[in-house]
Every structure is written in structure tokens, then in C-alpha cells.
Amino acid sequence: MKKIVFTLLFISVLVGGYSQSPQPAPIDTIITEQGSMLIYPNRTWAYMHEENFSGVMNERLHELVCNDSTYGYKSLWTHDDVITCTTNDVTLLKDTVWMCVLDSLYGNYAIPFKGRKTSGYGYRRGRRHNGVDIDLETGDTIFAAFDGKVRYSQYHDHGFGNLIVLRHYNGLETYYAHCSKLLVVPNQDVKAGDPIGLGGNTGRSTGSHLHFEVRFYDNPIDPELIFDFENDYVKDNLLVHSGIFSPYSSSSYSSSSRSVDRNAKTHRVRSGENLWTIARKYGTSVSTLCRLNGLKETDVIHIGQTLRLR
């Protein structure tokens, strides 16, 4: 049974305990079946934090990226800051980390909303677009992508509008922006497929849609490296290296900005590419690429390397 830290009315606490900026004092406390809730002046309410919770949801992954002096990444737990650590520099990531997006303990997933993709990851009208946009109607239900915990759920003044940020056991965070209504609160545990918000048009938005992001230690990656929105599918594994954080790693950029010869027999690896994006580009599979090139899925491929395609 999880141990809950209780606090008295009007006593100031750091919810989450690891925020670098002080949290405002709660103005009331409510006891519910799921645990104690704190009422805050700057948001609606939040579940109280678990004792000794550091914000780390994937200890194995965190050990890999933090104990190596090359990385030095941090995974802070804050409720009023969208970005928790600005020093998580992905250019320091010189090796490749194999991430289990789904595993035997947390193998469930859900597509946040099954709608038409209207904009992809990469550059859009000269500005970087850090996620994908999915068409919906105001009031449509948005679902949690994976099991995890709510870190942020409030109005964001700098463009996202009503924003939900979930931290997951696989080590990723997912962002759900422009909501008309928030259905979850900080510190709340969620399961894949749980309703977390209603679609809307809040913030910097010109029409009702879901702006969906995937981030690794505060750094955005193309959601389509993991999510196949059209076929309702999520990739089990992700090879994390510095190239996948490039806006040019986008599958939409690759297909729209560069012509692809589907009959090509070889491919020369470019910056930001990995086995999965190359397989998707040429309509083949990662297992086929590995078999033809004597590779394993966890092997690192290098810029300029020539791969056999068939």
C-alpha cells in the first residue's frame, strides 16, 4: 500500500518535493476515497505526493542517462513548470540508449485521439513544431497514451492553453495541449486509455485540435517514431540517440522534402535517421534491414553508412 504524506490545513508544503521553485501554500484539504487532495489558489486541486517520490518513473533508464558523466540529465518533478530542467542537453548524448516503450509490466497503450493528422513534427512556416496536430471537435475525449502520473494540468500562458503533461513508466512524457477542459490533476495516477481531457481551441490555436508531443527528458521527439496514428499502433522499442531530436528526423519531412526511390537497393544513412525511420521510408521492416546488414535492432548506425534494402 502506498504511503501518503498528510498535511494540515494552511501548512505550506512542496507537492512533489523536488521542485526548484517554491509552490504556493494550499488553502484547503479534502479527503477522498483515492487519497487526500490539496486545493491551490493557482490551479484547482492536486493529489498529495507519495513519500520519497523523486519523479523518476524508470529507474533503469534514469541510471543509464544520469550515472554517465556524459549525460548528466535530471528528471525533476514540478507542477507549475512545463519544462523541468533546461540543462538536459541532448547534444551530450553520444551513444544510443535502447528504451522499452512497452514492456511486460506496462504494456498498455492508447492513441490519444483517433482523428486525422493535420500537421506533423518538424518545421512549419519557418518555425519548429514539436509535435503532431490531430483534428477533433471541441468536447471530444482525449486519452492517456501510456500508464503514468500527471505532472502538469493547468492553463499555460505561453501558447499551449489548457495543457496536460503525463510522465510515464517508460521514461517519456506526453503533452496534450489546447484542451477545453482538464479531467485530471497533478500527482494523479492514470492508466493508458483513461480520459484525461476534452479537446478544444485554447491558447495559441486557430481551430479545435489536439497538439500532442512526446518528450525525453524535456527534449521533443517526433511522436511518429513511436505512434502509428493511422493504424492504431505503438512501437515497442525506441533507440534514443542525438539524431532523433532533430526536426529533420520527422518522417513527414523525409517523405515530403526528399523523393524516395521505393525500388532502391541501398540507402546512405543521413543525420537524424535510425533503422525504424529508414524501414518506414522504404516500406520494409527493421527485421529485414537487420537480416540484410548483419545488424541487431540495438546496433548503432552511423551517418554515411550504406545499408542494403533488399
Average of per-residue pLDDT across 46-59: 83
Confidence grade of residue 15 (pLDDT, cut at 50, 70, 90): very low
Q: What are phi and psi of 169, to 5 degrees?
A: -70, -15
Q: Residue 2 has what pLDDT?
A: 44
Between 296 and 298, the more confident residue is 296
Please tell me the distance from the alpha carbon of residue 142 to that of residue 209, in angstroms, as a whole number. Answer: 11
The answer to whether residue 9 scores a pLDDT higher than 80 is no
For residue 50, what is the DSSP state? B
Q: Residue 172: what are its φ and ψ, rounded to 5°?
A: -95, 165
Distance CA 197, CA 143 (A): 7
Bigger pLDDT: 54 or 262? 54
Alpha-carbon separation of residue 219 from 7, 93, 281 (angstroms): 34, 12, 24
Residue with the bigger pLDDT between 264 and 221: it is 221
Q: What is the pLDDT of residue 250?
A: 59
Residue 278 has pLDDT above 70, yes or no: yes
pLDDT at 302 over 90: no
280 vs 118 pLDDT, higher one:
118
| pLDDT class of 294 with cuts at 50, 70, 90 | very high
| Predicted pLDDT at 283 | 76
Is 269 within 8 Å of 307 (Cβ atoms)?
A: yes
Q: How far is CA 82 from CA 56, 233, 242, 269, in A?
A: 16, 27, 22, 34
Q: Report the pLDDT averaged over residues 98-121.
A: 94
Task: With a cut of 70, say whether residue 20 has pLDDT above it.
Answer: no
Residue 195: CB atoms within 10 A of its CB come to 12
Stretch among 3-12, 80-89, 134-143 having the lowest mean pLDDT: 3-12
Segment 17-40 shows an average pLDDT of: 49
pTM: predicted TM-score of the whole model, two decimal places? 0.72
Asked if residues 46 and 15 have their Cβ atoms less than 8 Å apart, the reply is: yes
pLDDT in tens, 230-245: 889 999 999 998 889 8
Between 17 and 45, the more confident residue is 45
Angle at 273 between CA 67 and CA 310, to 5 degrees: 125
Residue 194 in contact with residue 143, Cβ under 8 Å? yes
CA-nearest of 35, 59, 53, 57 to 45 is 35
